[in-house]
Amino acid sequence: MCKDCGCNIIDNVVDPKTHQHKIEIERGILSKNDRLAEQNRNLFKEQELLVVNLLSSPGSGKTALIERMQVERSLLGTNNLNLGVIVGDLATDNDAHRLQHRGISAVQITTGNACHLEANMVAKATQQLDLNSLDLLIIENVGNLVCPAAYDLGEDLRIVLLSVTEGEDKPLKYPTMFKSAQIVVVNKIDIASAVEFDRERAIANIQKIAPQAQIFEVSAKTGQGIKLLLAYLAEQLKIKPSIQPLHG
């Protein structure tokens, strides 16, 4: 013990006159979230549930994509991919209602002024779902391409959604988010030509920033491309134990 001030660190004294000490910490400031995310991940593993963290700017079509997946999933045949959803939003619970209308079990998390979901919120929301009956749990994150990137929720896969109205340079503007995704979905391709979307450039940008990502081009409105995405997710469910989380 330091005899001057009774503090139990005697190394690293910066200035003995003022009793200043340096304490080395080297601790992740989100270590609490990471620990809770790991607990979620263990729960999802026991349940043999594929969990997807769905991320985009507001209005890219996250909710619409999930609705369309529900409509198309029966067309896949034997593998029915029972769907559950946790929706994060700043204020309203409209999205959960929209999804429930489609017969999807959906739980809303209202985050108030938090601009992202955290692992503890997801843990709480899962208690309201019958995980046993689900194969695929989609977590619709708060519409934001910055803050949610840092928060592991315990998911297997991240899908970043980008709609054709948002411009081809979006991946260059939000590299952290795109680099954390295993899947990038380009949505609203039904209106691509109307908004003069430069497909080649957009795809090239995604590939440059996120070479690891699998790319799907879809329309949540017409259903184009959705079956391929569903088939890919069904495949991922089968190989779930071997999926490596990209972040954290």
Partner 1 sequence: MMQNTLDIAIAQARQNNAAQIDLLTMNIGELSGVIPEALEFAFEVLRWGTMAENAQLEIKTIPVVCHCPKCDRDFQPEEYIYQCPRCGTTSSKIIAGKELELASLVVSS
Ligand X SMILES: Nc1nc2c(ncn2[C@@H]2O[C@H](COP(=O)(O)OP(=O)(O)O)[C@@H](O)[C@H]2O)c(=O)[nH]1
Which residues of this protein are in contact with Mg ion, per CB under 5 A? 62-63, 95
- Site for ligand X (CB under 6 A): which residue of 34, 38, 190, 198? 190
**Token couple for 60:** 């890219």
Q: Scan for tokens 């349940």, then name that residue.
A: 47
- Site for ligand X (CB under 6 A): which residue of 56, 108, 126, 144? 56
Would you state the torsion angle of the CA atoms of residues 94, 95, 99, 105, taken in this order, to the nearest 10 degrees?
-100
Closest CB to ligand X among 36 and 139? Answer: 139
Min CB(147)–partner 1 separation in Å: 7
Strand bridging mode 183-187 / 157-163 = parallel
Min CB(96)–partner 1 separation in Å: 27
CA distances from 212 to 4, 59, 172, 180, 232 (A): 56, 25, 15, 9, 15
Min CB(244)–partner 1 separation in Å: 11
Distance CA 246, CA 248 (A): 7
Question: Which one of partner 1, Mg ion, ligand X, none is in contact with 7 (Cβ closer than 5 to 8 A by kind)?
Answer: partner 1
**Token couple for 244:** 């490596």
Count CA atoms closer than 13 A to 194's CA, side-chain side: 6
202 lines the binding site for ligand X (CB under 6 A): no
- Site for ligand X (CB under 6 A): which residue of 44, 119, 121, 143? 143
59 lines the binding site for ligand X (CB under 6 A): yes
Distance CA 178, CA 202 (A): 13
Closest CB to partner 1 among 26 and 46? Answer: 26
Closest CB to partner 1 among 28 and 59? Answer: 28
Residues at the interface with partner 1 (CB under 8 A): 5-9, 14, 18-30, 32-33, 146-147, 149-150, 172, 175-177, 179, 208-212, 247
60 lines the binding site for ligand X (CB under 6 A): yes
Any idea how long the chain is?
A: 248
